């Protein structure tokens, strides 16, 4: 892994409050930035249970962090109660979820997460997943494609794009899909001749997002994982979540409100914490990040 500063690092640490000998859960390893910071603060015997669905991410992490207090385990975080149990860590004092897509998956996984290079259209975090983006694109009905582009991508040209995909089947690679999407949006959304796009994002961005969410059942996984994380942490422990688009943030907000209403947690962030201008300048991928946190009250 290259040098990487995770989004909202100081804010995450401030909310988690790691102390010596405490144990923590990172349910979405990514580049391992939060883990490294926690391990500095929970010496000498505090541990971090590091969960990621993609085993390649964990292999990279173990190369970077040579510390026996790191307990890495591959799996879907919707099963984090079972995964943490398998680590034999007795107490969890806090948990963090960064719901963004890691640079490893974008740059090294060769699974079609990026439209900037030509890769097979897999988009599954797990290597043994049966559902792939290629299967969705080539076998879903035009109506179902439009539905997921609207529901998971909030794409205003979903109908046009779904029709273009159906017309151009079979589709096998990420660049092929990106070109189909680009050619199917109205010319007014483009600024020629440089092919930059109004709003600053490529029109395939939301389509790739929607496909990734559908392949991995991401929203359902979040809904299942957050209550389990709250149940896992000790009273006084905290759960911190960073999301990157409104759909994710809405789910996090809803789950936290339901848990607060049930008397399980106290909400620490009435409004989401956003990155400062300087962080956005140094790390543009942080621009859409929103942090929410709760504190566990009772078992």
Do 82 and 21 belong together in one domain?
yes
Does residue 42 surpass a pLDDT of 80? Answer: yes
Number of domains in the chain: 2
Q: Please state the rounded mean pLDDT for residues 231-241.
A: 97
Q: Which of these three, 216, 234, 255, is where a domain ends?
A: 216
122-132, pLDDT tens digit by residue? 999 988 889 99
283-298, pLDDT tens digit by residue? 888 899 999 999 999 8
Can you give the pLDDT at residue 274?
Answer: 97
Do 133 and 78 belong together in one domain?
no
Percent of the chain with pLDDT over 90: 81
Do 113 and 211 belong together in one domain?
yes
4 confidence band (pLDDT: 50, 70, 90): low
4 in any annotated domain: no
Do 65 and 162 belong together in one domain?
no
Can you give the pLDDT at residue 181?
Answer: 96
Average pLDDT value for the chain: 92
239 in any annotated domain: yes
170-229, pLDDT tens digit by residue? 999 999 999 999 999 886 555 444 445 555 578 899 999 999 999 999 999 999 999 999
122 CB contacts (<8 Å, ≥6 apart)?
111, 112, 129, 132, 133, 134, 215
133-170, pLDDT tens digit by residue? 999 999 999 999 999 999 999 999 999 999 999 999 99
Q: Please state the rounded mean pLDDT for residues 234-252.
A: 96
Task: Find out whether 296 and 233 touch, Cβ atoms under 8 Å.
Answer: yes
- Quote the domain boundaries for residue 205: 109-216
Higher pLDDT, 26 or 283: 26
Can you give the pLDDT at residue 1?
Answer: 41
Task: Find out whether 70 and 34 touch, Cβ atoms under 8 Å.
Answer: no
**Is residue 297 classed exposed, middle or buried when 0-12, 13-18 and 19+ CB atoms within 10 A define those classes?**
middle
- According to DSSP, the β-strands at 265-267 and 190-191 are unpaired
Please choose, from the candidates 207, 77, 221, the residue with its C-alpha nearest in 3D space to the C-alpha of residue 154. 207
Please choose, from the candidates 142, 138, 203, the residue with its C-alpha nearest in 3D space to the C-alpha of residue 169. 138
205 in any annotated domain: yes
Q: Please state the rounded mean pLDDT for residues 12-34.
A: 96
Do 121 and 204 belong together in one domain?
yes
Q: What is the CATH number of the domain that holds 185?
A: 1.10.150.170
d(C-alpha 80, C-alpha 207), whole Å = 28
Please compute, for residue 225, the number of CA atoms within 13 A of its CA located in the half-sphere on the CB side: 31
Q: Please state the rounded mean pLDDT for residues 46-52.
A: 97
Do 93 and 15 belong together in one domain?
yes
Phi, psi of 155 (to 5 degrees): -90, 120
Do 34 and 82 belong together in one domain?
yes
Do 130 and 202 belong together in one domain?
yes
Q: What is the CATH number of the domain that holds 46?
A: 3.40.50.150
Do 91 and 164 belong together in one domain?
no
């Amino acid at each position: 892994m290259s040098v990487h500063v995770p989004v909202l690092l100081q804010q995450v640490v401030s909310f988690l409050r790691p102390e010596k000998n405490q144990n923590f859960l990172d349910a979405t390893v990514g580049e391992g930035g939060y883990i490294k910071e926690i391990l500095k603060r929970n010496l000498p015997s505090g541990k971090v249970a590091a969960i990621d669905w993609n085993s390649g991410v964990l292999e990279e992490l173990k190369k970077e962090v040579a510390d026996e207090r790191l307990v890495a385990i591959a799996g879907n975080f919707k099963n984090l109660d079972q995964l943490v149990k398998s680590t034999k860590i007795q107490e969890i004092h806090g948990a963090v979820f960064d719901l963004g897509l890691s640079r490893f998956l974008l740059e090294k996984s060769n699974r079609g997460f990026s439209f900037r290079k030509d890769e097979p259209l897999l988009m599954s975090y797990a290597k043994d997943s049966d559902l792939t983006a290629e299967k969705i694109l080539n076998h879903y009905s035009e109506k179902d494609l439009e539905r997921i582009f609207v529901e998971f991508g909030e794409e205003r040209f979903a109908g046009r794009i779904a029709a273009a995909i159906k017309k151009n089947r079979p589709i096998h690679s990420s660049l092929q899909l990106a070109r189909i999407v680009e050619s199917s949006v109205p010319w007014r959304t483009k600024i020629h001749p440089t092919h930059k796009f109004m709003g600053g994002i490529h029109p395939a961005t939301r389509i790739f997002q929607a496909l990734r969410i559908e392949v991995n059942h991401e929203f359902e996984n979040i809904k299942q994982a957050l209550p389990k994380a709250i149940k896992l942490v000790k009273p006084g422990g905290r759960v911190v979540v960073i999301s990157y688009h409104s759909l994710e943030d809405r789910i996090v907000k809803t789950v936290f409100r339901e848990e607060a209403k049930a008397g399980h947690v106290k909400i620490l962030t009435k409004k989401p914490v956003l990155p400062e201008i300087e962080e956005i300048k140094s790390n543009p991928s942080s621009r859409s990040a929103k942090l929410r946190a709760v504190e566990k009250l009772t078992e």
